[in-house]
Chains A and B, each alone.
Chain A
């Protein structure tokens, strides 16, 4: 793996929203890499900036108030951040695709499924119209839609949520992208459908041989699908490791707490451990010190003063916590 050139490198990404004239960072200093054909999961509570981070990669932030302020997004070595809208359009849908959380609203209600399928092929290939339509039907069949030749003439409201998400997947893989970003692709679906869609995504990912950035807050999904895991908290990466070490050697107190809150079969506790409190909102983010300090069971007085840096504790395992920070060796002993 290490000899490979990374497919995607996010470096010190800062994405901010302009709220009442002030910039608040929803993503603050996020760095991680995705290698070709690798599945990287991003986990973290609601509101920790997972969606904002993925929209930043695609340059799909709400134009009126969202903006990348600092950092680089290298895709195959080229920085996407300075690219113009037209240049991004060459990449979006072709090299990098995205599936969204809400299949119910992600499709245009007044255009046929066929039109919306054809569009992505039309944008990125020189194929003739009839050929494109044939390909669209084929793609729909590939994602398990049996009535594909009829569905192309139907409108999104005639389809169930699961079907719509299949259509979204079909669109996303139409041009055989190298990277698929899936932002909680199953959260809005029924439990039974969730499993089918995840299975489909895994199958397709292997077939197409693409890398995937899968955003989820389901650690069960992580265990099943991930190669590497990036844990985010309040707009920052707090831990970045491979899937085995995440479950067996979690380091960051937040990761530990997250793992502790999963119910297990062999668990006879009456009350599940939950992490007390919630992610601070953008406006109430602590200006100094660790962002997790208020909820951290191992918090120390220093934690409110020192901004912890993301540091490697082991090969391929980074943590953002002063407990593991080499520049504060006196704390290390207490672990």
Chain B
């Protein structure tokens, strides 16, 4: 297991290298650069040229890339020209919000998928199963921004249950209990939308796995022992079917992040996704580069986590 983990981590190094090249090329290919939006256009072209030279923007691509990577290795992600701050400081402020949002949405996804998938898997091809599948496909079909606007309209405007914007109430002292409660309160609605929308695949996965497991020989053995139906489902079948579900999120990180980018923007939720979109708009390339790289790494780490988790909860892999 330890060897396996080490090998998995080592494999990540060349992948990370490739990812960094792709990310850098994309940012490089973006029209304009940090200067084009920032500098007073009335300045003389000679002055602009001088600035470019000074900032290293005229250097060959590989030198710029090398400088960027060298910085990252020393935890220096560059400076945001828009925010006039170190990128690491901006991300440090935004990241906890996104993590909170993602975690909360995952918890919601799992709770919904567990109960719906378990019910549908136990009662396949019944009215209840069809209803659950109907709801799931509906949620899958609705674009996230439509769902978000609906949720805001109903929960915020009609019933006034949850705030529609922001990630924390104003005038809170960071670190206090009220501050965290306010955070949770602000995060709930976007998390609900984000979580509900990806529930479909988890529910379907669990349902199908339960149906498949119910046909397995070991279920027949359990029945031959006189084990009651409910025990068979809750112990024998669910233990098996839960394994692929628990690890599913690791492979799903990319879509969670994708969803978060949209949801954060609509809810003006101060997270990484919202930062990415606004930075792209303002050509804040240092931020865009860092955030994109970070999200790619998150996806890789998610995959790794999923694999390792699989090894921990599946006894067949655990020993080797």
A98 to B222, CA, bound (A): 11
**Complex Cα–Cα for A76 and B138 (A):** 55
How many Å from the CB of B238 to the closest CB on chain A? 10
**Distance (Å) between the CB of A194 and the closest chain B CB?**
20
Q: Is the interface of B mostly helix, strand, loop or mixed?
A: helix
What 1/0 flags go to B305-320 for Cβ under 8 Å of A?
A: 0000000001110010
Does A119 contact B227, Cβ atoms closer than 8 Å?
Answer: yes
Interface membership of chain A positions 113-133, coded 1 if the CB is closer than 8 angstroms to chain B and 0 otherwise:
000100110011000000000
For residues 114 through 166 of chain A, which have their beta carbon under 8 Å from a beta carbon of chain B? 116, 119-120, 123-124, 155, 157-158
Decide yes or no: A120 and B225 within 8 Å by CB, A109-B315, A157-B315 being known contacts. Answer: yes
In whole angstroms, what is the CA distance A105 to B222 when docked?
Answer: 12
- Smallest CB-CB separation from B215: which chain A residue? A62
With a CB–CB cut-off of 8 A, which chain B residues contact A62? Answer: 215
CB contacts (< 8 Å) of A171 on chain B: these are 221, 225
Q: How far is the CB of A234 from chain B (nearest CB, A)?
A: 24
> Is the CB of A58 closer than 8 A to any CB of chain B?
yes
Interface string of B222-250 (1 = CB under 8 A from A): 11111111000001100110010000000
Which residues of the other chain, A, contact B229 by a CB distance below 8 angstroms?
85
CB of A293 within 8 A of chain B? Answer: no
Q: Range of interface residues on chain B?
A: 20 to 34
Distance between A41 CB and nearest chain B CB, rounded to angstroms: 20
A78-108 CB mask vs B (1 if < 8 Å, else 0) is: 0000000110111111100110101001111
**Cβ B224 vs Cβ A97 within 8 A:** yes
What residues of chain B lie closer than 8 Å to A116, measured between beta carbons?
A: 221
Known A-B contacts A105-B218, A109-B316, A157-B316; A89 and B226 likewise in contact (beta carbons under 8 Å)? yes
Known contacts A106-B221, A109-B316, A119-B222: does B240 contact A89 (CB below 8 Å)? Answer: no
Contact in complex: A100, B221 (CB < 8 Å): yes
Residues of B within 8 A of A120 (CB): 225-226
With A and B bound together, what is the CA distance between A159 and B226 in angstroms? 24
- Inter-chain CA distance A123–B228, complex, in Å, is 8
Contact: A92 with B224, CB < 8 Å?
A: yes
B226 in contact with A91 (CB, 8 Å): yes
Do A107 and B225 form a contact, CB below 8 Å, given A62-B215, A158-B319?
Answer: no
Q: Given A100-B217, A100-B220, are A110 and B225 neighbors across the interface (CB < 8 Å)?
A: no
- Name the distance in Å between B77's Cβ and chain A's nearest Cβ: 43
- Residues on B with beta carbons closer than 8 Å to the beta carbon of A109: 218, 240, 315-316
Least distance between A266 CB and chain B CB atoms (Å): 41
Say yes or no: is A60 at the interface (Cβ < 8 Å to chain B). yes
| Neighbouring B residues of A195 by C-beta, 8 Å | none
Interface flag for B216 (CB, 8 Å): yes
Is A210 part of the contact surface with B, judged by Cβ < 8 Å?
no
Q: Determine if B315 and A110 form an interchain contact, defined as CB atoms under 8 angstroms apart.
A: yes
Question: Are A111's CB and B224's CB within 8 A?
Answer: no
Query: Nearest Cβ in chain A — how far from B231, in angstroms?
Result: 8
Q: Which residue of B lies closest to A85 (CB)?
A: B229
Interface centre among B216, B223, B239 (most CB of A within 10 A): B223
Q: Which of B215, B217, B225 has the most CB of A within 10 A?
A: B225
Q: How far is the CA of A108 from the CA of B222 in the complex (A)?
A: 9
**Cα distance A142–B218 in the bound complex, in angstroms:** 23
Q: Which residues of A contact B216 (CB under 8 A)?
A: 105
Do B228 and A110 touch (CB < 8 A)? no
Q: Within 8 Å CB of A124, what residues of B?
A: 226
Judge if A168 is at the interface, Cβ distance under 8 Å.
yes
Residue of A at shortest CB range from B223? Answer: A60
Q: Could you say which of B221, B227, B228 contacts A168, with CB atoms under 8 Å apart?
A: B221
Of chain A, the residue at the smallest CB distance from B218 is A108
Bound: A213/B224 CA distance, A = 15
Compute how far the CA of A105 lies from the CA of B243 in the bound complex, rounded to whole angstroms.
Answer: 18
CB distance from B177 to the nearest CB of A (A): 41
Q: List chain B residues, Cβ under 8 A from A90.
A: 226
Q: Separation in Å of the A159 CB from the closest CB of chain B? A: 12
By a beta-carbon cutoff of 8 Å, the part of chain B in contact with chain A is 215-218, 220-229, 235-236, 239-240, 243, 314-316, 319
9 pairs across A/B with beta carbons < 8 Å? A89-B228, A105-B218, A106-B217, A109-B315, A110-B243, A110-B314, A119-B222, A123-B225, A157-B315
The 8 A-B residue pairs whose C-beta atoms are closest, nearest first, are A93-B226, A93-B225, A105-B217, A108-B218, A92-B226, A120-B225, A89-B226, A155-B315
List 19 extra interface pairs beyond A62-B215, A92-B226, A108-B239, CB under 8 A: A58-B223, A60-B223, A85-B229, A89-B228, A92-B224, A94-B226, A100-B221, A106-B220, A108-B218, A108-B221, A109-B316, A110-B315, A119-B227, A120-B226, A124-B226, A155-B316, A168-B221, A171-B221, A171-B225
